């Protein structure tokens, strides 16, 4: 079986991440599935965005969690990318996508599609998002046994082992993907803002999360291991062992032919990419 390819935040190398255009492009690129990060709006809607704040990917600023869906809908989520969106993909000026919007888009694909939902937390401690997500999916008609919602197969991902443990109460373990990444102090400094937590305490929290995440994978409590490609390069024997022990491995973010071939050689079954067509071509040509 060739590796399953997920479009990371949609085909986000081509169009702005988490936009209708990026997801439509992912379907056109022949991706088997798409990945989506979710946050809660102030009024409890599940919205598709990576960052905790609006600043990088919208023309707004401040925290996503401080805005209602109606307020978020007034923002432009695609202009920052500078990629002209053709009319067939909705033209420029994309609005915030909700998870409900994305499910409707994928349901209209005319073929089965996989959806990998990544739960993002403003801090490693909040757990409200899991409840909201499961309640929403149940309402939409999601079947917890098959994890299907119509023609969409839903898996769940998080760096936070507590998320996995909580989701395990509702979702089948083979649809749970524990994300893992080596903890790089400089990246922590550059990329994360965790309120009043001191940097040392934050690194401790992340190191514990990494250890617990690896334990969930080794104990086979989740069915999918989700390392970053750098983690795989650092720990190829560990990843090979996971595969030999029956674990599915879904690697992010695989954007080069070299990485795709390296991972395929290890036996990795799933890859997430900003450029799914490029990765498909690399794998098909070999
Ligand atoms: O697919 C997992 C990957 O998306 C995790 O990292 O920062 O892109 O959400 P990030
Ligand atoms: Ca993600």
Q: Domain ranges in the chain?
A: 4-284
In angstroms, rounded to a whole number, what is the distance separating the alpha carbons of residues 24 and 12? 11
Please report the pLDDT score of residue 260 as a whole number: 98
In angstroms, rounded to a whole number, what is the distance separating the alpha carbons of residues 219 and 89? 43
Is the model's pLDDT at 125 over the cut of 70? no
C-beta separation of 177 from 271 below 8 A:
no
Measuring from atom 1 of ligand 1, which residue has the nearest CA? 252
Q: Which CATH architecture has domain 4-284?
A: Alpha-Beta Barrel (3.20)
Ligand 2 centroid–CA 166 distance in Å is 19
In angstroms, rounded to a whole number, what is the distance separating the alpha carbons of residues 56 and 54? 6
Please report the pLDDT score of residue 126 as a whole number: 52
C-beta separation of 8 from 272 below 8 A:
yes
Measuring from atom 2 of ligand 1, which residue has the nearest CA? 252
C-beta separation of 157 from 116 below 8 A:
yes
Q: What is the pLDDT of residues 147-198, one digit of tens each?
A: 999 999 999 999 999 999 999 999 999 999 999 999 877 666 665 655 556 7
State the sign of the Cα–Cα–Cα–Cα dihedral 75, 76, 80, 81. Answer: positive
Any ligand 1 atom below 6 A from CB of 214: no
Please name which ligand lies nearest the alpha carbon of 178.
1
Q: What is the pLDDT of residues 185-242, one digit of tens each?
A: 766 666 565 555 677 777 888 889 999 999 999 999 999 999 999 999 999 999 999 9
Average of per-residue pLDDT across 238-265: 98
Q: What is the pLDDT of residues 35-91, one digit of tens each?
A: 999 999 999 999 999 999 999 999 999 999 999 999 999 999 999 999 888 888 888
Annotation marks residue 50 as catalytic = yes
In angstroms, rounded to a whole number, what is the distance separating the alpha carbons of residues 65 and 86? 31
Q: By three-state DSSP, how is residue 208 classified?
A: helix
Any ligand 1 atom below 6 A from CB of 231: no
Any ligand 1 atom below 6 A from CB of 118: yes
Average of per-residue pLDDT across 105-118: 98
Please report the pLDDT score of residue 187 as a whole number: 65
Pairing of strands 46-48, 113-119: unpaired
Please name which ligand lies nearest the alpha carbon of 177.
1
ipTM of the predicted structure? 0.99
Pairing of strands 4-7, 46-48: unpaired
Please report the pLDDT score of residue 92 as a whole number: 77
Q: What does each C-alpha distance from 266 to 104, 177, 257, 263 come to in angstroms? A: 35, 19, 14, 5
Ligand 1, atom nearest to 37 Cα: 9
Give the residue ranges of DSSP H helices in 63-198. Answer: 69-73, 99-107, 128-140, 161-167, 185-191
Give this prediction's pTM.
Answer: 0.95
Any ligand 1 atom below 6 A from CB of 252: yes
In angstroms, rounded to a whole number, what is the distance separating the alpha carbons of residues 31 and 10? 9
Please report the pLDDT score of residue 271 as a whole number: 98
Annotation marks residue 18 as catalytic = no
Please report the pLDDT score of residue 124 as a whole number: 47
Phi then psi for residue 212, to 5 deg, are -65, -35
C-beta separation of 23 from 101 below 8 A:
no
Please report the pLDDT score of residue 152 as a whole number: 98
Burial class of residue 168 (count of CB atoms within 10 Å of its CB; 0-12, 13-18, 19+): middle
Cβ neighbours of residue 283 closer than 8 Å, sequence gap 6 or more: 2, 3, 5, 260, 261, 264
């Amino acid at each position: 079986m060739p590796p399953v390819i997920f479009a990371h935040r949609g085909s986000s190398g081509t169009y702005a991440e988490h936009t209708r255009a990026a997801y439509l492009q992912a379907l056109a690129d022949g991706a088997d599935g798409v990945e989506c990060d979710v946050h809660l709006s102030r009024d409890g809607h599940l919205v598709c965005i990576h960052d905790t704040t609006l600043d990088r990917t919208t023309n707004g600023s401040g925290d996503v969690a401080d805005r209602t869906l109606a307020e978020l809908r007034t923002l432009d989520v695609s202009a920052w990318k500078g990629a002209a969106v053709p009319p067939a993909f909705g033209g420029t000026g994309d609005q915030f996508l909700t998870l409900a919007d994305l499910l409707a888009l994928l349901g209209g694909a005319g073929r089965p599609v996989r959806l990998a939902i990544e739960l993002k937390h403003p801090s490693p401690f909040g757990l409200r998002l899991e409840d909201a997500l499961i309640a929403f999916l149940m309402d939409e008609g999601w079947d917890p046994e098959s994890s299907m919602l119509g023609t969409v197969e839903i898996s769940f991902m998080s760096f936070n082992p507590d998320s996995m443990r909580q989701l395990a109460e509702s979702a089948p373990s083979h649809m749970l993907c524990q994300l893992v990444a080596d903890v790089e102090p400089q990246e922590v400094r550059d990329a994360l803002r965790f309120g009043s937590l001191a940097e040392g305490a934050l690194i401790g929290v992340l190191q514990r999360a990494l250890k617990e995440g690896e334990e969930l994978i080794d104990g086979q409590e989740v069915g999918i291991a989700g390392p970053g490609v750098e983690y795989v390069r650092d720990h190829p024997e560990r990843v090979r062992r996971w595969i030999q022990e029956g674990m599915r491995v879904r690697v992010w973010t695989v954007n080069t032919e070299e990485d795709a071939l390296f991972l395929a050689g290890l036996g990795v079954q799933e890859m997430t990419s900003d450029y799914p067509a490029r990765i498909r071509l690399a794998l098909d040509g070999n």
